[in-house]
Each structure stands twice: as C-alpha cells, then as structure tokens.
Amino acid sequence: MPGLRFEKLHLAPVAGVDEAGRGPLAGPVVAAAVVLPARGVPRGIDDSKKLSAAERQRLHARLLDCAHVGIGIVEPEEIDTLNIYWATMKAMTIAVDRLCEGLGCPPGHVLVDGNRLPRWSYAATAIVSGDAHSRSIAAASIVAKHTRDTIMLRHAEDWPHYNWHSNKGYGCPHHLAALREHGPTPLHRRSFAPVAAAALRFAPPESSTPQSQHLVGAPSLVPDS
C-alpha cells in the first residue's frame, strides 16, 4: 500500500488527485480528488492499475463512505475543443473545486499524480508515479478509474459494436475494427487520429473539403505526464 510520507509534509487536509481516461478514443476523461480520514482508511488502497475491477469497486464504495471525494468529468466534445491535456487539467480542477464544497474549505495542500499542475490557486505538488507513492493519490486513482469504467459500461449497452464493456474506449484491435466498419459515435473523440480517419471515411462526399483535411491533421494524444 502506498504510504503517507508526502501527506505528512503538508498542512491537513491533504487531497490526492488523479485522472482516468487520457488515452481512450471514446468517452470522457474523469478526475477524482480525495481527502482520506485520519482513521478508518480502507485496507488495500493501491495504484488502480494494480487492482482488479472487483477490488476497485469494493474500495470505491468504502472510500465514498469514509473519505471526502470530489469528481470532475469532461466529455468528448469538450476534449476535442480543449485538447486532451487541457481537458485533463480542467477535470482535475473541477474535482478539487467539488471536494472543497464538501470540505467547506480549501485543502491545505493538493498532491497531483504526474509532473504538471493545473493553473489553479491551490497549494499543490506534482508527484511522478504519485499513485505508487501517495495513499491519497492512489485512492483518487481508484475513484477516477471506477467512475469512468462505470460510465463506459453504461454506454456499452447503447453501442455494442465497440466492445466498450471490455476495452472501456481504449483503441484495442476490436474497437479499431468496429470504428473502421461502423464509424465514430457521439462518444468518440474526433480530435484523435484513428477517429478522425474513420470520420473522413464515413463523411458524405461533399464533406471532403478543407474541414476534413483539418481533421486528418488533428492532434492525437498529448503524452501522459
């Protein structure tokens, strides 16, 4: 379990922040901000990528019961407008703002997974691989990941061709094949290169204009922090 070394360096309450969903071709990017309780922290908190879906679900429920939690969600249309990097920064900002509403005050410090911070007024520290080193960030990674997975499972029922119940919107072979065969859905990020290419193939002939050419050159992913 990640420790509390970084939390102990700062004035309480200390919030951990992490996101889920920078890389997928479809669905929102989700961030979570978590302040753990002084006592009664659930056992088993770890980097969400190291946990099974069942473990994340269990810990998510426990964290909602015992911790202060804020969640920020930015949908695909806004991701395309802002780009994925700034959409992630916005999701983190929304998550901390909502955490503050529950706390009734700003956190004493915010620990953010990665090497960059949003443009906000909160005292904060970026920690590379923070979900492996900070228990608060690890808790946030669990909440963000479980929240986003739940959203994608719900959307999978409406768009069964894309196998989102398994890939959660990431560009696995099955998802890419369905994208080429059926084209993008409203949940797809059209600024991501594979989706832009599929959108061009399914556009009516009159749409193959400079606007379509702009899509081909649209940015794909900003590298993860």
List residues forming the annotated binding site for a divalent metal cation.
18-19, 113
Q: Tell me the β-bridge partners of 18.
A: 32
Radius of gyration of the chain (CA): 18
Binding residues: 18-19, 113
Please choose, from the candidates 138, 125, 137, 132, the residue with its C-alpha nearest in 3D space to the C-alpha of residue 9. Answer: 125
Give the three-state DSSP class for 180.
helix
Judged on CB neighbours under 10 Å (0-12, 13-18, 19+), 209 is exposed
Of all helices (H) and strands (E), which one includes residue 57?
A: helix 53-66
For the chain, what's the residue count?
A: 225
Of all helices (H) and strands (E), which one includes residue 151?
A: helix 135-158
